[in-house]
C-alpha cells in the first residue's frame, strides 16, 4: 500500500586537516551536552529531514503524499494545498532565505505530510478526469486513516488547509472529527452566508495549461515578498502543475457548516487578502461550534502569507497551535 522515495542530499565533507576535524568534533560534543542540559521537550535536530513521498490508496486510486519526518516526531500535520498548485510549490519552497514551511515544521519535531489531490503534482487524475470537493474530502480521510496507522503512538494529525484546501480541511474535520486533533483554516474563502448554485459539468474536462499569470496572482501586496522568490515560485509551480485541474460540483461546499466544526480551530488570515476578506472570517469565527478557537490576522500580507514577510509570524502561530492541540 505504501512505498517511499527520497530526494537525496549531499553530505557535508569533513575538514582537510586534523585541526579542522578536532574542531568539528568539539562542536559536535558541545551540541550533545547542550541537548542533554536543555529543558525537557526541546527538539534537537542535526539536519532537516529529507523529502520523501508515499503512495496511499483511496478507493482504489493512488495518491501521492509528500513528507518530511524527523526521527522522533512529537506531532503530526497534514497539509492540503490550494486550487491551482500542488504541495511542493505551495509548502516546500524556501523563501526569504529561510526554510520552507515543511522544512521548518520537521526541524521542530513535527512529522509533516502533504497530499497532492487527484490531478495535482505527482497524483494522477482518476478515470473521470474531474475532481469534486466530496472526493477531495474522502481522499483526505483516507490519508488521515493511514497517518493514524503510521503513527499509532502520536495524537491525531492537525490539518492545515490553504485557500481551496481550507474548505476541504473544514469538510473533512466536520465529517470525521475523530481523525483530527485540530484544523487550521488559512485563506478561507467560502462565505457561510452564501450558497453555490447546484450544477454539474459533464463531458471531457478542459485540461487547460496553467499560466505564469496564474502563478503570480497570489502575490498582491507590493514589497511583501522578494521578486526573486516570486520567480522561484512561478518556476516551481509551472513545473509541478503544467495542466490546470478541472473541478466540478462546487455546491458540495454548501455542506460546510461552521457550527458543525467541533474540533479546535485556528483561522489564519493575511490582512490584505482579497480572497479571504474579513467579513467572511468573522462570520466563520462567530459561527464555529467549538469554544477552542482563535482568529489570527497577519499584518501586511495577503493570500500567500506563509511565503511573504509574515512567514515567521505565520510559522510561529501555526506551530504553537500544533503543539497545543496535537
Q: Which helix (H) or strand (E) holds 308?
A: none
How many Å apart are CA 255 and CA 25, to the nearest integer? 59
Strands 4-6 and 61-68: unpaired
Mean pLDDT of 29-50: 46
Q: Taking each helix axis from N to C terminus, what angle separates 164-175 and 133-150, rounded to the nearest 10 degrees?
A: 70
Q: What CATH class has 44-325?
A: alpha beta
What are the residues whose beta carbons fall under 8 Å from the beta carbon of 30, sequence distance 6 or more?
A: none
pLDDT at residue 199, as a whole number = 83
pLDDT at residue 253, as a whole number = 98
How many Å apart are CA 290 and CA 113, to the nearest integer? 25
Mean pLDDT of 259-276: 98
DSSP per-residue string spanning 266-321: EEEEETT-SSS-HHHHHHHHHH-S-SSEEEEEETT--TTGGGSTTHHHHHHHHHHH
Residue pLDDT, tens place only, 207-230: 999 999 999 998 999 999 999 999
In terms of Cα–Cα distance, which of 247, 230, 105, 228 is closest to 163? 247
User: pTM for the whole thing?
Assistant: 0.86
pLDDT grade for 46, boundaries at 50, 70 and 90 = low
Cell numbers standing for residue 65: 503524499
Cell numbers standing for residue 243: 495542466
In terms of Cα–Cα distance, which of 189, 176, 169, 157 is closest to 78? 157
Does residue 44 register a pLDDT over 90? Answer: no
- pLDDT above 70 coverage of the chain, percent: 86
* Coil, helix or strand at residue 120: coil
DSSP per-residue string spanning 50-65: PPEEEEEEETTEEEEE
Does residue 40 register a pLDDT over 60? Answer: no
Amino acid at each position: 500500500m505504501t512505498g517511499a522515495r527520497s530526494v537525496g542530499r549531499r553530505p557535508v565533507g569533513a575538514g582537510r586537516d586534523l585541526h579542522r576535524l578536532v574542531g568539528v568534533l568539539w562542536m559536535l560534543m558541545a551540541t550533545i551536552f547542550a541537548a542533554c542540559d536543555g529543558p525537557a521537550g526541546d527538539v534537537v535536530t542535526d539536519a532537516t529531514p529529507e523529502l520523501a513521498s508515499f503512495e496511499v490508496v483511496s478507493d482504489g486510486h493512488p495518491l501521492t503524499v509528500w513528507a518530511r519526518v524527523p526521527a522522533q516526531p512529537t506531532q503530526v500535520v497534514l497539509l492540503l494545498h490550494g486550487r491551482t498548485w500542488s504541495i511542493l510549490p505551495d509548502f516546500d519552497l524556501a523563501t526569504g532565505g529561510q526554510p520552507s514551511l515543511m522544512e521548518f515544521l520537521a526541524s521542530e519535531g513535527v512529522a509533516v505530510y502533504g497530499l497532492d489531490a487527484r490531478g495535482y503534482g505527482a497524483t494522477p487524475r482518476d478515470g473521470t478526469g474531474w475532481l469534486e470537493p466530496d472526493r477531495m474530502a474522502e481522499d483526505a480521510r483516507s490519508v488521515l486513516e493511514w497517518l493514524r496507522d503510521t503513527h499509532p503512538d502520536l495524537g491525531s494529525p492537525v490539518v492545515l488547509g490553504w485557500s481551496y484546501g481550507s474548505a476541504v480541511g473544514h469538510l473533512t474535520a466536520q465529517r470525521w472529527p475523530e481523525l483530527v486533533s485540530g484544523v487550521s483554516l488559512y485563506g478561507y474563502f467560502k462565505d457561510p452566508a452564501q450558497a453555490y448554485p447546484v450544477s454539474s459539468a459533464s463531458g471531457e474536462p478542459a485540461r487547460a495549461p496553467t499560466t505564469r499569470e496564474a502563478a503570480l496572482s497570489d502575490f498582491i501586496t507590493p514589497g511583501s515578498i522578494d521578486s526573486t522568490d516570486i520567480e522561484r515560485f512561478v518556476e516551481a509551480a509551472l513545473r509541478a502543475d503544467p495542466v490546470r485541474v478541472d473541478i466540478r460540483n462546487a455546491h458540495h461546499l454548501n455542506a460546510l457548516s461552521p457550527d458543525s466544526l467541533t474540533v479546535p480551530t485556528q483561522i489564519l488570515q493575511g490582512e490584505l487578502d482579497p480572497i479571504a476578506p474579513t467579513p467572511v472570517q468573522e462570520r466563520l469565527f462567530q459561527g464555529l461550534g467549538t469554544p477552542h478557537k482563535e482568529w489570527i490576522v497577519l499584518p501586511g500580507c495577503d493570500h500567500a502569507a506563509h511565503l511573504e514577510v509574515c512567514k515567521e509570524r505565520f510559522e510561529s502561530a501555526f506551530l504553537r497551535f500544533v503543539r497545543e492541540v496535537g
